[in-house]
Structure 1
Amino acid sequence: MPPRTMSEQAFYILTALVDEPRHGYGIVEEVAVLSGNRLKLPVGTLYGVLDRLAADGLVEPDRDEVANGRLRHYYRLSQDGRRVLIGEAQRQAANARVAHRRLGLSGEAGS
């Protein structure tokens, strides 16, 4: 089966977990920061994507903590998740280079 295309939500969730394990709300906040508030993850979407990423072995449970009387489940990026994220980042960068060349933007930074 060919690899499926990674959704923007999955890409940002994996990216949010690169530097440290996070709980659900922490992931939502980090995704907002990373995307410049362009991507807002509803809780239902977050946990659906996390479940799929976990089933694919790209994220793993890290720990559970109780904070303010609520149980928080923390997730971390797995080694396979890191490998897949690197590949996806390279794929997206290559696609952007093609579009920039076609648009005549290849010399412009941040375009």
Structure 2
Amino acid sequence: MPSTSISLVCSTYWKSRYAYSTREGDAISSRAALEAAAAMYLVYCRNHLSTEERQAMPRAAQLLTQEDWAAIADAAPESSDPMFGEEVQARFATLRKQIAAEASLSTQQQCCA
């Protein structure tokens, strides 16, 4: 990994952590301050994911064997999505069905009108 990517990710992360921690104890925080801290955090997350997708995962795909991937899968605990959980997954499945049904209905109405 190029050091510039790592330093950018680390810099952004620590800036967002500092921005959050300085507001954590405040009773009142301005909306602008909260938005700025959230924006910095999103930049950090996007950079982190981008680095994984562009550098870490392709390198892992080159170096790891099927046995390595199996060992990783066995070592990883089975759990729902840590960020969204199963309830959200069910919600999105329902939403997808609703969108598909409405799209189908719209297509039928255009076809047969």
TM superposition score normalised by structure 2: 0.33
Higher strand share: 1
TM superposition score normalised by structure 1: 0.34
Higher helix share: 2
